[in-house]
Amino acid sequence: MFKKILVANRGEIAVRILRACRELGIDTVAVYSEADRNALHVRYADEAYLLGPAPSRESYLRADKIIDIARKCGADAIHPGYGFLAEREAFAAACADAGITYIGPKPSAIAAMGDKMTARDTVAAAGVPVVPGTEGKGAMRDEELLALAPKIGFPLLVKASAGGGGKGMREVTSLAEMPALLASARREAESAFGDGNVYIEKLVSGARHIEIQILADTHGNAIYLGERDCSIQRRHQKLIEEAPSPFVDEELRRKMGEVAVKAAQSVDYVNAGTIEFLVDKDSNFFFLEMNTRLQVEHPVTELVTGIDIVAEQIRIARGRQLSYKQQDVVLRGHALECRINAEDPYNGFMPSTGTITHSLLPTGPGVRVDTGVYPGFEITPFYDPMIAKLIVWGETRGQAILRMRRALEEYRIVGVRTNIPFHQTMMDSHRFMAGQYDTRFVEERFSMPELEHDQEMHYPEIAAVFATLAAHHEAQRSAQFVMRNERDASNWKWVGRWERMHR
Ligand code: MV4
């Protein structure tokens, strides 16, 4: 095994990875920015080194410094976590050049999946279903895209090759508006990624976002660990994830799992990875993209499979065989994850900063909290607002929801505002309970037009009085800003009925 691993990340995921190392008896090295001198990951690790000032590009993105530290302190391997240097081909290659094992896929696989158009072409050639569009044609000029669009049919989506996560994406409903939308998509992609290439796909509406976790070792073994439903998101930020998906049955799981393994094998994938699919109302599924890293939401898969994904990543990187064969992967029960963000759900989900003065973590049966913060720690605007993940397991989906409600109620965070009231409202929602949601759910049901369209206000004094009243009213409790009738003790009768119906 490795003797020492450097974790090139911060926050909850750095702590998660350090914990896996500790259990495996591997020494650990943390790196940190000036804003993170007192961070939990720094305290948890055996050694810690300062990278530089708070901004990511001067700290957590300094690949050169990180590799230098790893070399000097004798680390055998680097785990990138998610974000920052994860999914950077050049970083994975630089680790290898320095004789340090990168805990993740090969640079070639990161590159092949990093360009979304290339990824689509590659997996489509391997027989993986993709949404009908421009696959197999490579980069196209506007004239070619305009000529092809009517054959694909409207509505369609223009997507950035270098994109992912919705950046540079445009919905097109007619040929007439397409030239302008192509131009603005290219402009946005060029400025965000330095690559203005785009491709088009038919729009799949009312779809769910379901992803498959895979593991592949260096000996040619590859398995899938079932799916996660990540449809509860807002502006491409996931908020709640669950496993298994209430929408997926045995047969669909097996089909999607086998296709996911095929997609991974098409780029010679090694280590943990995730294949994202769109799944329409008729259970047709289409490859969206592959994430070549450990994901935020990996714990829900860990809770229903009993597999420690980070420990497997480390074993795979060391050259071991997978600890599990496909038939060893058995799903048990149901897991939910709520991302706890330092943001104000009553004020357009604005980031909230400050020092956490008090916090009380939920515990007890079936509850897991992955967090990187503690009382006394200051939340700064430099990094992601996610401060914790609250993950629960239950024998059934209904039990998991009840447990999540209980845990959310126990959770106390003082000093910053959090989205806990949003999650409480979700756990009370009949549509969520019934599993009847798609990727539009949050925007449809949780929009607050009176707060989001303030540019239309013509009477600032009246607006100010109303805003004050509304803020006071809404601060009282979560339920006020959505469907009052959904807060009802008989919800649980309803869940029971729904579960009996679906047995
Ligand atoms: C789509 C789609 C519908 N049809 N592609 C958004 C981010 C990027 N990863 C892909 N995305 C989508 N691609 C076709 N052909 C709808 C989305 C989409 C979405 C996907 C997953 C999770 C949330 C989403 C929210 C809005 C749109």
Distance of CA 143 to the CA centre of its chain: 35
Q: Is the pLDDT of residue 483 over 70?
A: no
163 Cβ inside 6 Å of ligand 1? no
Q: Is the pLDDT of residue 489 over 80?
A: no
Take residue 434 and report the two structure tokens written for it. 């019934």
| Dist. CA 273 → ligand 1 center (Å) | 19
What's the mean per-residue pLDDT of the chain? 92
pLDDT at 137: 87
CB 281 within 8 A of CB 143: no
pLDDT at 445: 82
Distance CA 407, CA 397 (A): 15
Q: Is the pLDDT of residue 486 over 50?
A: no
278 Cβ inside 6 Å of ligand 1? yes
Of the listed ranges 65-79, 283-297, 483-497, the least confidently predicted one is 483-497
| Dist. CA 118 → ligand 1 center (Å) | 18
Phi, psi of 272 (to 5 degrees): -85, 140
Write the residue with the smallest CA distance to atom 15 of ligand 1. 203
| Dist. CA 120 → ligand 1 center (Å) | 14
Q: Tens digits of per-residue pLDDT, 32-44?
A: 999 999 999 999 9
| Dist. CA 277 → ligand 1 center (Å) | 9
Distance of CA 94 to the CA centre of its chain: 26
Q: Which amino acid is at 346?
A: Y
| Peptide bond between residue 244 and the one before it cis (omega within 30 degrees of 0) | yes
Distance CA 136, CA 364 (A): 52
386 Cβ inside 6 Å of ligand 1? no
Write the residue with the smallest CA distance to atom 3 of ligand 1. 204
CB atoms closer than 10 angstroms to residue 342: 24
Distance of CA 192 to the CA centre of its chain: 20
pLDDT at 484: 42
CB 167 within 8 A of CB 159: no
Residue ranges covered by each domain of the chain: 4-103, 132-202, 208-454
- Burial 366-396, CB ≥16 within 10 A → b, else e: bbbbbbbbeeebebeebbbbbbbbbbbbbee
Write the residue with the smallest CA distance to atom 14 of ligand 1. 203
439 Cβ inside 6 Å of ligand 1? yes
Distance CA 344, CA 352 (A): 6
Distance CA 264, CA 429 (A): 36
What does the DSSP 8-state code read for residue 133?
B
Quick one: pLDDT band at residue 457, thresholds 50, 70, 90?
Answer: very low
Phi, psi of 491 (to 5 degrees): -45, -40
Q: Residue with structure tokens 């080194």?
A: 49
Q: Name 144's Cβ contacts closer than 8 Å, sequence gap at least 6.
A: 137
Ligand 1, pocket-test mutation among 247, 439, 442, most atoms within 8 A of CB = 439
Write the residue with the smallest CA distance to atom 12 of ligand 1. 166
CB 132 within 8 A of CB 114: no
Quick one: pLDDT band at residue 76, thresholds 50, 70, 90?
Answer: very high
203 Cβ inside 6 Å of ligand 1? yes
Q: Tens digits of per-residue pLDDT, 420-442?
A: 999 999 999 999 999 999 999 99
Distance CA 423, CA 421 (A): 5
Of the listed ranges 20-29, 180-189, 423-432, 445-454, the least confidently predicted one is 445-454
| Dist. CA 442 → ligand 1 center (Å) | 14
Q: Which atom of ligand 1 is nearest to the CA of 116?
A: 9
Segment 323-351 shows an average pLDDT of: 96
148 burial level (CB within 10 Å; 0-12, 13-18, 19+): middle
Domain 132-202 CATH class label: alpha beta
Take residue 184 and report the two structure tokens written for it. 């603005």
CATH homologous superfamily of 208-454: ATP-grasp fold, B domain (3.30.470.20)
Task: Report which secondary-structure segment, H or E, holds 177.
Answer: none
CB atoms closer than 10 angstroms to residue 64: 9
| Dist. CA 324 → ligand 1 center (Å) | 32
153 Cβ inside 6 Å of ligand 1? no
What does the DSSP 8-state code read for residue 179?
H
314 Cβ inside 6 Å of ligand 1? no
- pLDDT > 70: what percent of the chain? 89
pLDDT at 495: 65
Distance CA 290, CA 263 (A): 9
| Dist. CA 341 → ligand 1 center (Å) | 22
Q: Tens digits of per-residue pLDDT, 57-71?
A: 999 999 999 999 999
Ligand 1, pocket-test mutation among 210, 236, 247, most atoms within 8 A of CB = 236
Helix axes 107-114, 89-97, angle to 10 degrees: 170
Ligand 1, pocket-test mutation among 131, 156, 157, most atoms within 8 A of CB = 157
What is the CA angle 199-201-203, rounded to 5? 140
Write the residue with the smallest CA distance to atom 11 of ligand 1. 166
- Which of residues 13 and 445 earns the better pLDDT score? 13
pLDDT at 476: 53
Q: Name 364's Cβ contacts closer than 8 Å, sequence gap at least 6.
A: 406, 407, 410
Quick one: pLDDT band at residue 503, thresholds 50, 70, 90?
Answer: low
Residues acting as catalytic residues? 293
Q: Name 270's Cβ contacts closer than 8 Å, sequence gap at least 6.
A: 105, 106, 109, 216, 217, 218, 316
| Dist. CA 362 → ligand 1 center (Å) | 33
Per-residue HEC secondary structure of 298-349 comes to: HHHHHHHHCCCHHHHHHHHHCCCCCCCCHHHCCCCCEEEEEEEECEECCCCC
Q: Name 38's Cβ contacts closer than 8 Å, sequence gap at least 6.
A: 376, 377, 378
What is the CA angle 107-215-61, rounded to 5? 40
What is the CA angle 109-17-12, rounded to 5? 105
CATH number of 4-103: 3.40.50.20
CB 105 within 8 A of CB 316: no
